[in-house]
A and B are shown apart, each in its own frame.
Chain A
Amino acid sequence: MRLWSVFRKAMREQLRDRSTLAMTLLAAPLFCLLYFLMMGGSSTSYTALLVNQDGNPAVAEALRTVQYEDGAPLLKLRTVADRPAAEKLLRDREGDALVIIPPGFSAALQGGPASRYVLSGDLTNPRYTVAAILAATAVDGLVQQAVGAPPPVQFVEEPLGGSGSRTEFESYVPGIIMIAVEMLMFKFAMMLAAEVEAGTLRRLRLTRMTAFDLLGGISLTQMIVGAGAVLLTFATAALLGFESQGPLWVAILITTLATFSIIGFGLLTACYSRTTTEAAVVGTFPMLTVMFFSGSAFPLPRVPLFSLFGRVVSVYDILPPTHAVTALNKVLTMGAGLGEIGYELAAILVLSAVYFAAGVWLFHRRHMRVQL
Chain B
Amino acid sequence: MAVLETIGLTKRFGSLVAVNDLSLKVEDGEVFGFLGPNGAGKTTAIHMMCGLLKPDAGQTLIHGRPAASGDPDTRARVGVCPQNIVLWGNMTCLEQLEFIGEMYGVARTEARRRGLALLEAMSLTDKRDRLARTLSGGMQRRLNLAMALVHDPAILVLDEPEAGLDPQSRVLVREFIKSLTRKKTVILTTHNMDEAERLADRVAIIDQGHLLTVDTPEALKRQVGPQVQVRASTLEDVFIAMTGRGLRE
Chain A residues near B70: list those with CB within 8 A.
Answer: 369-370
Return chain A residues, CB-CB under 8 Å to B88.
9, 13, 198, 200
Q: Which residues of B contact A199 (CB under 8 A)?
A: 82, 84, 86
Q: Does B68 contact A (CB under 8 A)?
A: yes
A203 contacts B by Cβ under 8 Å: yes
Which residues of B have CB within 8 Å of A17? 90
Which residues of chain A come closer than 8 Å to B78, judged between CB atoms?
Answer: 206
A91 on the B face (CB < 8 A): no
Q: If A199-B82, A206-B75, A208-B76 touch, does A5 touch B54 (CB 8 Å cutoff)?
A: no
Given A199-B82, A208-B72, A372-B54, also A9-B91 (CB < 8 A):
yes
- Chain A residues 1-55 with CB under 8 Å of chain B are 2, 5, 8-9, 12-13, 16-17
The CA of A251 and the CA of B182, in the complex, are separated in Å by 63
The answer to whether B103 touches A2, judged by C-beta atoms less than 8 angstroms apart, is: yes
CB-CB contacts below 8 Å: A331-372 with B: 369-372
B141 to chain A, nearest CB (A): 14
State the CA gap A86–B86 with chains docked (Å).
69
Given contacts A5-B99, A17-B90, A207-B75, contact A371 B104 (CB under 8 A): no
A146 at interface, CB cutoff 8 A: no
The answer to whether A16 and B103 touch across the interface, beta carbons within 8 angstroms, is: no
Q: A9 contacts B95, CB within 8 Å?
A: yes
> Which partner residue on chain B sits nearest A207 by CB separation?
B103
Any B CB within 8 A of the CB of A205: yes
| B50 at interface by CB-CB < 8 Å | yes
Interface flag for A204 (CB, 8 Å): yes
With a cutoff of 8 Å between Cβ atoms, the chain B residues found around residue A12 in the complex are 90-91, 95
**Cβ–Cβ contact B100 & A203, under 8 A:** yes
CA distance A2 to B72 in the complex (A): 14
Asked if A16 meets B90 with Cβ closer than 8 Å, knowing A203-B147, A370-B54, the reply is yes
How far apart are B134's CB and chain A's nearest CB, in angstroms? 11
B147 partner residues in chain A, CB cutoff 8 A: 203
Question: Given the complex, which residues of A lie within 8 Å of B100, measured CB to CB?
Answer: 203, 207
Nearest Cβ on chain A to B78's Cβ, whole angstroms? 7
B232: Cβ under 8 A from any A Cβ:
no
* CB–CB A205/B86 < 8 A: no
Query: Given known contacts A17-B90, A369-B70, what 13 new A-B pairs fall within 8 Å (CB)?
Result: A12-B95, A13-B88, A13-B91, A200-B86, A204-B103, A205-B52, A206-B76, A206-B78, A207-B104, A213-B103, A370-B68, A370-B70, A371-B52
Tell me if B105 is interfacial: C-beta within 8 Å of chain A. Answer: yes
B52 touches A202 (CB 8 A): yes
Most buried by A among B80, B87, B99: B99
Report the separation of the CA atoms of residues A118 and B90 in the bound assembly, to the nearest whole angstrom. 69
Question: Judging by beta carbons under 8 Å apart, are B53 and A370 in contact?
Answer: yes
Across-interface contacts of A370 in B (CB, < 8 A): 51-54, 68, 70
List B6-65 residues whose CB lies under 8 Å from chain A.
47, 50-54
Which residues B175-198 have CB closer than 8 A to chain A?
none
Leading 7 A-B pairs by shortest Cβ distance: A207-B103, A199-B86, A208-B72, A5-B102, A16-B90, A13-B90, A209-B103
Taking a contact as CB atoms under 8 Å apart, the answer to whether B102 and A2 are in contact is yes
Please give me the residue from chain B that is nearest to A214 by CB atom. Answer: B103
List, in ascending order, chain B residues with CB within 8 A of A209's CB.
103
Across the interface, name the chain B residue whose C-beta is closest to A13: B90
**Contact B103–A200 (Cβ < 8 Å):** no
> For residue B111, which residue of chain A has the nearest CB?
A5
Residues from 139 to 184 in B contacting A, C-beta threshold 8 Å: 147, 151
Contact flags A180-216 to B (C-beta < 8 A → 1, else 0): 0000000000000000001110111111110001000
Cα separation A204 to B76 with both chains bound (whole Å): 11
Chain A residues within an 8 Å CB radius of B47: 371
- Shortest CB-to-CB span from B137 to chain A, Å, is 15
The digit string for A202-238, where 1 denotes a CB below 8 A from any CB of B, is 1111111100010000000000000000000000000
Nearest chain-A residue to B133 (Cβ)? Answer: A16
Task: Kindly report which residue of chain B lies nearest to residue A14, judged by CB atoms.
Answer: B90
Bound Cα distance from A106 to B100, whole angstroms:
88
Residues of B within 8 A of A8 (CB): 99
